[in-house]
Amino acid sequence: MLKIFIELLFMLLTVLTAMLTLTVILHGIEERPVYWQKELRKACIYSLIVTGIGVVLAGVSGTNSESFLELLLIVAGGLYLAKFQRTKTTAEIVLPLTLYTTGSVFFGSLMVDNIQLLFDIHIVELLLVHVSQSSPQFVIALVNFLLFIYLASFRKLPYAGVLLRFDEKLVNVIGGAYLLAVAFFSQSVWPLWQVWGQNNADACVWLTILLMVLVLNRGEALLKIEERQQHQQTEQLLQQQAQYVQHLEELQQELRGIQHDHKNLITAMYLDVKQGNLANIETYMDQHLRQVDVSLEQTIKKQNQLTQIRVPEVKSLLLTKLIRAEELELKVSLEIPQTIHQLPIPLTDFLRLLGILLDNAIEASQESVGKELQLLFWQKEQELHVVVENHFSEAVDQRQIWHPGYSSKGEDRGLGLANLRKIIGNYPHVLTETKIQGDWFTQILRFR
Partner 1 sequence: MIPIYLCDDQPTITENLKNQLRKVLLIEELDFQLQPAFHDPEVLLKTIQQAPQNGIYFLDIDFGAGAMDGLRLGQAIREIDPRGFIIYVTTHEELLPATFRYQVEAFDFIVKEDLSQLLDRLREILLAIRQRLAQDQRSERPQFCIETGGMKQFLPLDEIIYFETTPRKHVLAVVLPGRRIEFSGNLTELEAELPEYFLRTHRSFLVNRQHIHSYDRKAKVLRLTGEESCFVARSKVKALGF
Separation of alpha carbons 222 and 225, rounded Å: 5
Residue 332, interface with partner 1 (CB under 8 A)?
A: no
Pairing state between β 440-447 and 430-437:
antiparallel
CA angle 252, 255, 259 (to 5 degrees): 140
Give 224 or 385: the residue with its C-beta nearer to partner 1: 385
- Using CB under 8 A, count the residues that bind partner 1: 33
Give one DSSP letter per residue of 149-181, joined into a string. HHHHHHHH-HHHHHHHHS-HHHHHHHHHHHHHH
Nearer to partner 1, 104 or 407 (CB): 407
Contact between 301 and partner 1 (CB under 8 A)?
Answer: yes
Q: Name the minimum Å distance from CB 305 to partner 1.
A: 9
Residue type, 201: A
297 is a site residue for partner 1 (CB under 8 A): yes
Return the bridge partners of 447, or none: 384, 430
Q: Which of 200, 374, 390, 407 binds partner 1 (CB under 8 A)?
A: 374
Q: Of the candidates 137, 188, 259, 437, which one interacts with partner 1 according to CB under 8 A?
A: 437
Measured from the CB atom, the residue of 89 and 390 that comes closer to partner 1 is: 390
Give the side-chain half-sphere CA count within 13 A for 57: 14
70 binds partner 1 (CB under 8 A): no
All residues at 6 or more sequence positions from 424 whose CB lies less than 8 Å from its CB, including other chains: 353, 430, 432, 445
CA distance 343 to 310: 10
Does 398 sit near partner 1 (CB under 8 A)?
yes
Helix (H/G/I), strand (E/B), else coil: 45 = helix
Three-state secondary structure call for residue 233: helix
Least gap, CB of 356 to partner 1 (angstroms)? 17
Rounded to the nearest angstrom, the gap between the alpha carbon of residue 119 and the centroid of all alpha carbons in its chain is 39
Q: At what angle do helices 198-275 and 123-131 cross, to 10 degrees?
A: 130
Beta carbon nearer to partner 1, 225 or 431? 431
| C-beta of 252 vs 398, nearer to partner 1 | 398
Q: Is 299 in the site for partner 1 (CB under 8 A)?
A: no
Q: Which of 31, 272, 335, 363 binds partner 1 (CB under 8 A)?
A: 335
| Triad 398, 403, 404: Cα angle to 5° | 140
- 339 is a contact residue toward partner 1 (CB under 8 A): no
349 sits near partner 1 (criterion: CB under 8 A): no
- Distance between CA atoms of 299 and 143, rounded to whole angstroms? 69
Closest separation in Å from C-beta 428 to partner 1:
5
Q: Which of 198, 277, 333, 408 binds partner 1 (CB under 8 A)?
A: 333
Judged by beta carbon, residue 32 or residue 302, the one nearer partner 1 is 302
| Span interacting with partner 1, options 77-85, 140-148, 225-233, 377-385, rule CB under 8 A | 377-385
The answer to whether residues 58 and 64 touch, using CB atoms and an 8 Å cutoff, is yes
Among residues 268, 296, 376, 415, the one that binds partner 1 under rule CB under 8 A: 376
- Examine residue 383 and tell whether it contacts partner 1 (CB under 8 A): yes
User: Which of 125, 249, 282, 286 lies at the binding interface for partner 1 (CB under 8 A)?
Assistant: 286
224 or 421, CB closer to partner 1? 421
380 binding partner 1? (CB under 8 A):
yes
Confirm if 191 and 85 have CB atoms less than 8 A apart: no
> Does position 394 bind partner 1 by CB under 8 A?
no
Handedness of CA 188, 181, 98, 161 (dihedral sign): positive
Closest contact distance (angstroms) between CB of 21 and partner 1 is 42
Distance separating alpha carbons of residues 308 and 299, to the nearest angstrom: 15
Evaluate whether 202 touches 116 at the Cβ level (below 8 Å).
no
Enumerate binding residues for partner 1 (CB under 8 A): 286, 290-291, 294, 297, 301, 333, 335, 337, 374-376, 378, 380, 383, 385, 387, 389, 397-399, 424-425, 428, 431-437, 446, 448
